[in-house]
Amino acid sequence: MRKLWLKKNEDRRIRAGHLWVFSNEVDTQKSPLTDFAPGEEATLCDTRGAPLGSVCLNPASLICARLHARQADAPLDAALLRQRLSQALDLRRRLFPDPWYRLCHGEGDFLPGLVIDRYGDHCTLQISTAGMESRKELIAQCLDDLIAPASLLFDNDLAMRGLEGLSRETQSRGELPDRLEVPENGCRFFAPCATGQKTGWFYDQRVNRRELARYARDADVLDIFCYAGGFGVTAAAAGAKSVTFLDASPQALALARENAAVNAPALACRDAVETVCGDAFHQLNELYEEGRRFSLISLDPPAFIKRRKDAAQGLAAYRKINALTMRLLTPGGVLASSSCSHHLPAEALRGCVAQAASRRGLHARLLFAGGQGPDHPVHAAMPETAYLKCFIAQVG
């Protein structure tokens, strides 16, 4: 392997355990980035030539290299991929009795750029780096050896692939199911296979959905940005009195209604399931003006901060959506406020909840502070991998 040299003092973060190398940290006099091909392996060295590990490069990306091993001259080959995927699989089998989970979570499983969600005999993959893209066949072979899935969907229509110079595309192998069936927290959900959001289902909120359901008995529930109804349906199955789903997608709302009918047929029979289609900011105002109030609300918006430079604008959006939501809570009501923006610190989201309550002359007491589930492990040296925050608070 050739060497990728770092500038002086740029090795500190890597020595502390971080896996990313940024292009401005590279000594391009000793190792011009343009000399490397996308996906090429190299040994990463400090300014004295001491090896720091092995990386896969992409000279066209701001994150120009990602570590896959702490040893020098260690190829990201079939043996290493199989070892890492086997370790990831072992962890999930210890966590879950049935094969519905995130099987590989990128840096959290020491495989940067690779996400795999498992739905029984079906796997959906997302590849976001040139290094993993060039090893797609090896990854598929490793999965065949480890779990022999009936089908694979490479759902690579990702904006971040553009940053790596990769095409946005979707490919499949085997016979794909028309849609996914997901058992979770005692419920049974249906979700789109190739046309849904992300990889089809948001496993990362599994624990938080279960926690919110503890407050669901006899509650009037509002599930904002509901997608397939994960929070609202789990609450309905736990004894909610009514559920209102809010989303901008008619397809998502139809799916949420179907999932509610499957898991809480009594609510569906008495017309206690409602859907509201439209922009959440607008619809929350409309619901308030109509005098609607709810005793249990889930607020799970998309990432309002996709880039660090958007942090101020995104924080303002989180403050606004939490304030609009808080107005709809009954006295003593419970709010679950989430954010999947890794650029938004947990304390900032907690502050959004506290501010929204105080501006109404109320207090919010935190009942639960959660994050992504254990099948989405956080790399201890990479705080940016702890992207999901969820605060459950009672307001009164």
So which residues are the catalytic ones? 340
Cα 365 to Cα 357: distance, rounded to the nearest angstrom: 10
Please state, in angstroms and rounded to a whole number, the distance separating the CA atoms of residues 384 and 382.
5
- DSSP-assigned states of every residue in 84-99: HHHHHHHHHHHH-SSS
Rg of the chain taking only CA atoms, in angstroms: 23
β-bridge partners, 123: 118, 152
Alpha-carbon distance 107 to 114, whole Å? Answer: 8
* Assigned token pair, 191: 């979700």
Q: Is 190 helix (H, G, I), strand (E, B) or coil?
A: strand
CA atoms of 251 and 196, how far apart (whole Å) = 9
* b/e per residue 163-193 (b: at least 16 CB within 10 A): ebebeeeeeeeeebbebbebebbebebbbbb
- 152: enclosing H helix or E strand: strand 151-156
What span, in angstroms and rounded, lies between the C-alpha atoms of 364 and 392? 9
213, 185, 182: which is closest to 200 by C-alpha?
Answer: 182
Q: Amino acid identity of 110?
A: F
**Number of other CB atoms surrounding residue 42 within 10 Å:** 22
